[in-house]
Amino acid sequence: MAVGDVTMPQMHAVKGVKIGSAEAYVRYQNRRDLVIFEFSEGTHVAGVFTQNAFCAAPVHISKAHLKVTNPRYLVINTGNANAGTGKMGMINAQATCAKLAELASVQEVEVLPFSTGVIGEQLPIDRLVTGLQPALDSLKVEAWLDAATGIMTTDTTPKGASEQFELDGVTYSMTGISKGAGMIRPNMATMLSYVATDAPISRDLVQQLLNNAVNVSFNRITVDGDTSTNDSCIFAATGQAGGSEITSQTDARYAVVEDVLTRVMKRLAQLIIRDGEGATKFITIAVEGGGNTQECCDVAYSIAHSPLVKTAIFASDPNWGRILAAIGYAGVPNLDVEHIQVWLGDVQICKDGGAATDYTEEAGAREMSKSEITIRVDLGRGHAQDTVYTCDLSYDYVKINADYRS
């Protein structure tokens, strides 16, 4: 059951984007599992992909195609990751692109494939390509919810974010979806995300905007510390709402777009944590007072990845010694523990490296029992800060992953 507010907002249509979907029976019957995005000609597209060395066949192909040109189509299947599938996996991913290109009358290089699901099984390629024409036949502008549902795997809810904003008197839309619930520790993780705007932005800046936004959103979440083989995040700017193209970071409009994209991507990333497999609590880990951002990030992830911390939070047990231990093994050089302060919400549990004199177990337990918890750490060695989002580790996480292929 997802934690907190995970409701889908009004998903504003993006001019120049059409979405279609179909039931291809890639793995599951009677559910939408094949999604196609169509971008208008001239759309600038950027991507960020998994850093797992064992990345999936569609990731290899999408990265290669993006280096050549802007894509006109994205094709996404769920139920099968097409990862760990060797040469046949590459052949199947290429066959998917070739068939969609034939049906849509574009070049094969103008199609990007994406897959998510079980690793190590070959795609049921015949069923997948048979589903392409029905998905194309259903293309329409008002289909973001269908797409969000169609890319789900162990997700319990579709995930979306959408805003409208104004530049020089022109109203633009930015809308996106994401999926992911387990094997989440991006750089990136088993997550897919697709965001589009109808604002006019040069291709170089589309990539720069995406890199910046991903770094503070999808690269700052973790469910279980595992990095998937299939992570992909795509940002497209169609320019179809009009206006002159943004070609420089010094253009005042650039900062507005960057703010909107960052909000949208943070929301999409946090929705993944709120819907983490078996999650009962949403946890914000804010580290400040660092010598640099990286050591703040390292400490935050050290806490977020600790099974002992995560299970204590699940049990509402204020066993704060586990948090101190995680800080201590984060690898921060020359860390002076006597300068460290730690809070659970507004309750200080550690002062100058030891127990806060006014701390009580009752106060700690009250904070731990909340469905949304903030752990704040001050390292006392500088002015840098960083934030990571995670969830607790419950019995249901084990059950879901033990039964994943059932």
- Provide the greatest CA pair distance for the chain: 71
Which tokens go with 138?
Answer: 């259903």
CB contact burial 377-403 (16+ within 10 A = b; e otherwise): bbbbbeebbbbbbbbbbbeebeebbee
**Of 240, 244, 248, nearest to 204 (Cα)?**
248
Q: Which domains, ranges and CATH numbers included, belong to the chain?
A: 17-274 (3.60.70.12), 282-402 (3.10.20.340)
Half-sphere exposure of 24 (CA within 13 A, CB side): 31
Report which residue type is found at 218.
F
Q: Assess whether the previous peptide bond of 188 is cis (omega < 30° from 0).
A: yes
Structure letter (DSSP) for residue 387: E
Measured CA to CA, the distance from residue 316 to residue 394 in angstroms comes to 11
Q: Which of 85, 190, 229, 284 is the catalytic position?
A: 190
d(CA 238, CA 154) in angstroms, rounded, equals 31
CB 339 within 8 A of CB 377: no
Tokens 């992570």 correspond to 231
Q: How many Å apart are CA 389 and CA 267, to the nearest integer?
A: 11
With H, G, I as helix, E, B as strand and everything else as coil, classify residue 232: strand
| Residue 20: both structure tokens together | 């279609």
Q: How far apart are CA 40 and CA 16, in angstroms?
A: 5
Residue located via tokens 């701390």:
359
Nearest to 80 by CA among 36, 56, 29, 116: 116
Assess contact for 326 and 300: CB atoms under 8 A: no
Please give the chain's pLDDT, 406 residues, in tens.
789 999 999 999 999 999 999 999 998 888 999 999 999 999 999 999 887 777 899 999 999 999 999 999 999 999 999 999 999 999 999 999 999 999 999 999 999 999 998 889 999 999 999 999 999 999 999 999 999 999 998 888 999 999 999 999 999 999 999 998 544 344 433 589 999 999 999 999 999 999 999 999 988 998 766 555 678 899 999 999 999 999 999 999 999 999 999 999 999 999 999 998 888 999 999 999 999 999 999 999 999 999 999 999 999 999 999 999 999 999 999 999 999 999 999 999 999 999 999 999 999 999 999 999 999 999 999 999 999 999 999 988 888 777 766 5
The sheet that has 347-351: what strands, in order across it? 221-222, 384-391, 282-290, 372-378, 341-344, 347-351, 354-355
DSSP 188-201: S-S-EEEEEE-S-B
**Nearest by Cα to 117 from 200, 48, 28, 36:** 28
Instruction: Give the helix ranges, DSSP H, for 151-241.
Output: 203-215
* CA separation for the pair 24, 8 (Å, rounded): 25
Three-state SS at 292:
coil
Cβ–Cβ under 8 Å, residues 21 and 35: yes
Q: What pLDDT is recorded for position 190?
A: 57
Q: Tell me, yes or no, if 247 is annotated catalytic.
A: no
* Pair type for strands 347-351 and 354-355: antiparallel
- Are 388 and 220 in contact by the 8 Å Cβ rule? The answer is yes
Inter-residue contact 51 to 78 (CB < 8 Å): no
Q: Report the C-alpha gap between 285 and 44 in whole angstroms.
A: 35
Query: According to the model, what pLDDT value does residue 184 have?
Result: 38
Could you tell me if 141 and 153 are in contact, meaning their C-beta atoms sit under 8 angstroms apart? no
Q: Are strands 347-351 and 341-344 parallel, antiparallel or unpaired?
A: antiparallel
